[in-house]
Amino acid sequence: MWPISENGRLDRLVVFASLAGETAPVGELVFEGRDRTRSFFRYARSWLENAAGRFPLAPLLPLKARAVASEPHAVPLFFYDAAPDGWGKSVLSFAYPEQTWGMAEFLAAAGDDRTGELLFGPDPDGPERFVPGRAMIEPPGDETTLEALLDAAEAVDEGRPRQHHLDLLFRGSADVGGARPKTRIRRRGRSWIAKFPARGDIFDDPRLEAVCLDLAAACGIETPDHDVIDVAGRSVLLVDRFDRGPEGQRYGYMSAGTLIGQPPGEYATGSSYAELAATARERGVRPCESQLFRRLLFNCFIHNTDDHLRNHAFLRREGQWGLSPVFDVVPHRQGRLVLPPAPDFTPEPDPRAALAAHGHFRLDRKSAAAIYDEVVTGLADLPQVLDRREVRARDRDTALALMPFAVNPPALPA
């Protein structure tokens, strides 16, 4: 039973993670202030004393008995990666309009299949989903169709959801990050993310993202399994969840924003690809300089200028943090990268300019040129991939106009 304060807010969340295959309490988040805009996290004594299996939840949450304060944020940054983002918050806010929402309530209401390995509950007995007030939501059965979920997502995206739309989305969407409409589904015995069209799309976004993921794989970038399907005349992108293992085991998840220490909700950054790679190495993440350099080049070629720090992530697999598979790659209209290649480099999305930053990634010119050539070779598949993914002529023209370097890759500068 969740303890509710006099002003209807949650004061305390017990944090759970997987230890030797079992869900165990890790510590607690305690919220302070009338509006619950600050908190502190403290590891449980039982977790700290379990020398055989314990681990720090994140590089910035070392295994120490002292509490970690959240200020100036509502929770320590790592917990934002386990919380709903724009889309999930919209679903919850529509579903329970009388609830006052803060990070405590969003974390507690997000459910048991959120991104990453964390779960939450009211006490150490086990995780439990917080349901505000009376149970308004009737979770859908397994017979729910993807078409019904797409219609529900479209209604929420347009700000006109009815109760049955929220019933459909509560189970699979309330804990999903990102701003675009999406939900979780079961497919081939695994959990997948279904990404839907959104208002304001300039082309068939799900289908073009499938194209870009195909190209990323051809360019030597780790890419999740994915597919694009037609649902009642609309495209839906299906992406296999890379935060789950082959047997469904949970992997820890940490955004690059959390690793760098960027405040949640901030889009612009003073960091760069090279600084992200250096910070990852300093904090015990598997070295990822060459892979981030490859992704930088790829983003420049396809004009993916929505490369902010929440669109890069790390997974804790087999006891160590490493770069996650690539995600959210699609050409954009904005003319500048969010992350420049390195300090003192402009954010111009030009692969030739990015190549010149190779030294900041611990790469010599020959190694950097080899990566550049491999990306160019992978991009040669672009016409065939557009055909294979059945991209319409109008969408093809719009996308190709946005990524001229992918259409005509510039030769290696001397």
Report how far residue 361's alpha carbon sits from residue 321's, in angstroms, rounded to the nearest whole number: 19
- Evaluate if residue 139 carries a pLDDT over 70: no
Mean pLDDT of the 265-276 span: 92
Residue with tokens 């611990």: 362
What pLDDT score was predicted for residue 232?
A: 83
Tokens of 361: 């990634």
Indicate the residue type of 249: Q
Give dist(CA 213, CA 223) in Å, integer. 7
pLDDT at 167: 58
Whole-number Å distance between alpha carbons of 403 and 381: 14
Residue % of the chain over a pLDDT of 90: 65
Of 95-99, 206-210, 339-343, the poorest mean pLDDT is in 95-99
Measure the CA–CA gap between 231 and 329, rounded to whole angstroms: 22
CB 48 within 8 A of CB 54: yes
pLDDT in tens, 54-88: 899 999 999 999 999 999 999 999 999 999 887 77
Does residue 387 or residue 184 have the better pLDDT? 387
Is a pLDDT exceeding 80 seen at residue 145? no
Predicted pLDDT of residue 171: 54
Q: Hunting for tokens 């969010």 — which residue is that? A: 338
Q: 53: Cβ–Cβ under 8 A, 6 or more apart, which residues?
A: 19, 20
Work out the mean pLDDT of the chain and round it to a whole number.
Answer: 89
Spatial separation of the C-alpha atoms in residues 144 and 337, rounded to whole Å: 39
* Cα–Cα dist 249/16, whole Å: 14
Question: What is the model's pTM?
Answer: 0.91
Among 186-190, 234-238, 299-303, top mean pLDDT goes to 299-303
Q: Using the predicted structure, report yes or no on whether residue 113 has a pLDDT greater than 90.
A: no
400 pLDDT above the threshold of 80: yes
Does the structure show a pLDDT above 80 at 7?
no
Sheet architecture: strand order including 320-323: 252-255, 313-317, 320-323
- Single-letter code of the amino acid located at 217: A
Cα–Cα distance measured from residue 299 to residue 302, given in angstroms and rounded to the nearest whole number: 5
Kind of pairing between the strands at 234-240 and 190-195: antiparallel
| Region 130-144 average pLDDT | 56
Q: Which of 37-46, 123-132, 180-189, 270-279 has the lowest mean pLDDT?
A: 180-189
pLDDT single digits (tens) 151-200: 776 776 677 766 655 555 555 545 555 567 888 888 878 889 889 888 88
The yes-or-no verdict on residue 140 having pLDDT over 70 is no
Distance CA 174, CA 172 (A): 6
Q: What is the pLDDT of residue 170?
A: 53
Determine how many CB atoms are found less than 10 A away from the CB of residue 396: 19
pLDDT band at 144 (very low <50, low <70, confident <90, very high): low
Q: Are 239 and 195 in contact (CB under 8 A)?
A: yes
pLDDT given at position 166: 57
pLDDT of 122 strictly over 70? yes
Give the chain as a 3 state SS string.
CCCECCCCCECEEEEEEEECCEEEEEEEEEEECCCCCEEEEEECHHHHCCCCCCCCCECCECCCCCCEECCCCCCCHHHHHHCCCHHHHHHHHHHCCCCCCCHHHHHHHCCCCCCCCCEEECCCCCCCCCCCCCCCCCCCCCCCCHHHHHHHHHHHHCCCCCHHHHHHHHHHHCCCCCCCCEEEEEECCEEEEEECCCCCCCCCHHHHHHHHHHHHHHCCCCCCCEEEEEECCEEEEEEECCCECCCCCECEEEEHHHHHCCCCCCCCCCCCHHHHHHHHHHCCCCCCHHHHHHHHHHHHHHCCCCCCHHHCEEEEECCEEEECCCCCCCCCCCCCCCCCCCCCCCCCCCHHHHHCCHHHHCCCHHHHHHHHHHHHHHHCCHHHHHHHCCCCHHHHHHHHHHCHHHHCCCCCCC
